[in-house]
Amino acid sequence: MLAPARLLLLSALAACGAPVAPRAPDAPIARAEVMPDGYVALGTTRVGCGGMPAWGRLGHEPLTRFECSFETLSQALAEQGRARGATLVAGRRCQGKPGGALSCTATFGRAADERAAEPAGPLLSTPPEGSLRFETAASIRVDLEPTVATFSRRARLPDEVGEHRDLPVSHVALGSIKARCAFDACRSRDLRTSLRVAAGAFGVSDLAGVSCRETSHGSSCVATLAAPERDPERDALAR
């Protein structure tokens, strides 16, 4: 165990914002209601996201609006915690706001002596493979130009949204969608994922003609939104 004077010194350094080495993006991070004994606080943070937008013309909408949930914000806290060198997210408090917006606050912590520290609590879940980091999603903007007045089907996960070179003969075009980010803020594969995230949130089953480009000003991907004319999950004749 560390001597009391040494423990106080570490606490003082953490409180003054002494730098702590970041941890790997997939490093385990625990959660607890309060900061356990033997841990030092590394700072507090707040994360938030807006509610899902309605179908219609959209411009410059943050991608985080299309997958706004407490689980998403929990992953955001874990991301920020690892970046600050934390092994613990403590005192997490979340709330919802009108319009579907959500926010969470928490304090990050790290054991003063990793060798002697007791387990702090259950681990936060690891995001699915291939999913976007919250920081990356927050840097991506989505534009939508619908060609139909309304569209309403069940929301889909990104991996449920298909990609086609051309519009399938069994489908109708619903409009165009674009995902973009500033130079070096994301990659083309992130933007392709973003198209599926936003399309799936609206219940759109397919993307056609996905095209991406990178310039010195930024990166973007565009596609046509497509779906069967009849919903096969509601209309037996469409199956």
Instruction: For residue range 62-100, list pLDDT tens digits in order.
Output: 999 999 999 999 999 999 999 999 999 999 999 998 889
Domain ranges, residue 125: 4-15+28-52+64-129
C-alpha separations of 58 from 53, 54, 101, 198, 203 in Å? 8, 9, 17, 11, 16
CATH number at residue 10: 3.30.110.70
- Domain boundary among the residues 88, 104, 129 is at 129
Give a yes or no: residue 57 inside a domain: no
Q: Is 74 in a helix, a strand, or coil?
A: helix
Token pair of 111 as six digits:
């054991």
For 134-182, how does the pLDDT look when each residue is reduced to its tens digit (9 = 90+)?
Answer: 999 999 999 999 999 999 999 999 999 999 999 999 999 999 999 999 9
Mean pLDDT of 179-190: 93
CA dihedral 92, 96, 101, 103 (to 10 degrees): -20
Q: What residues contact 92, with CB distance under 8 A and at least 6 apart?
A: 31, 74, 77, 104, 105, 106
- Domain boundary among the residues 129, 159, 177 is at 129
DSSP secondary structure code for residue 203 in this structure: T
The kind and range of the H/E element at 108 are strand 102-111
Whether residue 16 is predicted with pLDDT greater than 60 in this model: the reply is no
Count of domains for the chain? 2
For 191-225, how does the pLDDT look when each residue is reduced to its tens digit (9 = 90+)?
Answer: 999 999 999 999 999 999 999 999 888 999 999 99
Single pTM value for the model: 0.83
Give the confidence band of 55 by pLDDT, cuts at 50, 70, 90.
very high
Give a yes or no: residue 21 inside a domain: no
Q: What local confidence, expressed as pLDDT, does residue 18 receive?
A: 54
Q: Are residues 159 and 83 in the same domain?
A: no
Q: Are residues 173 and 105 in the same domain?
A: no
DSSP labels, 132-196: PPHHHHHH-EEEEEESSS--------GGGSEEESS--TTEEEEEEEEEEEETTTS-HHHHHHHHH
Q: Are residues 232 and 151 in the same domain?
A: yes
Give the confidence band of 118 by pLDDT, cuts at 50, 70, 90.
low
Give a yes or no: residue 59 inside a domain: no
If you average pLDDT over every residue of the chain, what do you get? 87
Backbone angles phi, psi at 227, to 5 degrees: -160, 155
User: Token pair 């392709």 is at which residue?
Assistant: 192
Q: Are residues 178 and 99 in the same domain?
A: no
Tell me the percentage of the chain whose pLDDT exceeds 90.
70
Whether residue 232 is predicted with pLDDT greater than 80 in this model: the reply is no
Q: Are residues 152 and 222 in the same domain?
A: yes
Q: What local confidence, expressed as pLDDT, does residue 130 receive?
A: 73
Check residue 24 and give left, alpha or beta (phi > 0: left; psi -120 to 50: alpha).
beta
- Sign of the Cα torsion 62, 68, 70, 71 reads negative
Give a yes or no: residue 225 inside a domain: yes
The answer to whether 206 and 168 are in contact (CB under 8 A) is yes
Q: Are residues 118 and 146 in the same domain?
A: no
